[in-house]
Structure 1
Amino acid sequence: MPVGIEAWFLQIPPITRCWVALAVLTSIAVQSQMVTPLSLYFSPRSAFVNGQPWRAVTNFFYFGSLSLDFVFHLFFFMRYSRMLEESSFANRKADYFWLLLCSSAMLLALSPLFNLPFLSASLAFVPIYVWSRRHPLLPISLFGLVTITAPYLPVALVAISWILNGSFKAVIGDFVGCAVGHVAWFLRDVWAREMIGGTTFLTDAPAPLKRLFGDAF
């Protein structure tokens, strides 16, 4: 029987668990100089013209060096991604993966516009934003100092990140993540349900992906 930190880690839902593990391993690899950030960042030219397609993936797992900002982003992503995966996407691993995959594609398209070579923090804000909009009346205590309702959580976290980093430029990626999270939430909870009256290709994972994850459909 796994005990301690291993038991806690195995209790995290699979999609969130894999992302957290890859993020931690990537930062450790950079910290120990096994790889450099220069080999991980994304740019359309490097990824698609210079034949380095892995950059379209690796940039989502590097939150920066092991620091307070790294812990901040990873903690809040892990907390709310886990809660979203355990509630709205319970027994729907493929749909949650599809949400993150479609969001990642949107972020890659926006990356050159905002000069964002690393999109890990941006993608981390997507599940935070979606979870917050799905719990509009839930009160949340921030560090025991202030209580807000869930929809204000992303804005509060961006403000805290701004304070931690000391510059607005450092949180542009967080704002972009919130914008993509809003699009993801709108497509699923407003457009598909209220305007279409059902699921669409953008909101429901394709059948092959569901078979891969062993989900019923």
Structure 2
Amino acid sequence: MTCQASAGSLQFWSKMAYQTFQQEYLQIPVVTRAYTTACVLTTAAVVWRLITNFLFFGPVGFNFLFNMIFLYRYCRMLEEGSFRGRTADFVFMFLFGGLLMTIFGTFVSLVFLGQAFTIMLVYVWSRRNPNVRMNFFGLLNFQAPFLPWVLMGFSLLLGNSIIVDLLGIAVGHVYFFLEDVFPNQPGGGRWLKTPFFLKMLFDTPEEDANYNPLPEERPGGFAWGEGQRLGG
């Protein structure tokens, strides 16, 4: 009788945990949810292909966990912040960055570009939030635009090659310049235009009034990525 009660209790709590996880998972915005899930599944399956080179982060360990945390946080903050209501533009940034990264990667013999892609997302977010004050592991305080360089230094301390980080920074800068800087320069213009078919596929005319986004300017929750906007 006791065994049956224990089994029933375990089943009940397992069901509650699954429902909680499912609810939280479905609240993640679509692009962040799809990309994060694909990264986890690809790493678990150890799929090594050209198309999936942005999804592989090596074996499960500290580096994998570190990359997943930054990928999730900054991808989500971009999607819920400057790309809110512009899913097609966000997907186009993925395609543009991935294509450019693949081209650049061939010159430095890089096969797996997942970490570089994460740095690209961090770079774009950091340049669009220049007044956010960051705290890294409770040791360093700096403004957001320095975050990609701090991550590169941390990667160097771990014994990793900084070529991957430099590639992500370079591609992120190209996108940021073409999208945010050049169009506002005298004689400048917008070179990056999201294809119409992407807008048809991803953009919707109405937004959910009950949707509660994660504030883009507050990447807190982890000691190595917390920040607050200056003057706040």
TM-score (norm 2): 0.76
CA distances 1:63-115 after superposition (whole Å, capped 9, x unpaired):
11101111111211211111111010001100001011001110111111111
Once the two structures are overlaid, the 10-residue window that deviates more, 18-27 or 70-79, is 70-79
Conservation of the 8 A alpha-carbon contact between 1:139 and 1:149: yes
How many residues matched?
A: 189
Whether 1:97 and 2:113 are equivalent positions in the alignment is: no
The structure that is helix-richer by fraction is: 1
Question: Equivalent of 2:197, from 195, 200, 208?
Answer: 208
Per-residue CA shift, 1:2-58, capped at 9, x if unaligned? 74333332222211111110110011112xxxx5x4xx2xxxxxxxxxxxxxx2x21
The 2-side partners of 1:70 and 1:135 are apart by 26
Deviation track 1:169-205 (CA, whole Å, cap 9, x = no partner) reads x2311110111000100111111233456644x1x31
AA at the equivalent of 2:20: G
Structure 2 matches for 1:1-217, cutoff 5 A?
3-30=19-46, 35=47, 37=48, 40=49, 55=50, 57-164=51-158, 166-167=159-160, 170-195=161-186, 199-200=190-191, 202=192, 204-216=193-205
Q: 1:69 touches 1:161 (CA, 8 Å); kept in 2?
A: no
The residue type equivalent to 1:184 in the other structure is Y
Aligned-partner Cα distance in 1 for 2:75–2:81: 10
Q: Which residue of 2 aligns with 1:51?
A: none
State the superposition RMSD in angstroms.
Answer: 1.9
Task: Compute the TM-score of the two structures, normalised by the length of structure 1.
Answer: 0.81
2:118, 2:168 within 8 Å by CA — same for their partners in 1?
yes
- Maintained 8 Å contact 1:94/1:215: no
**Quick one: percent identity of the two aligned structures?**
40
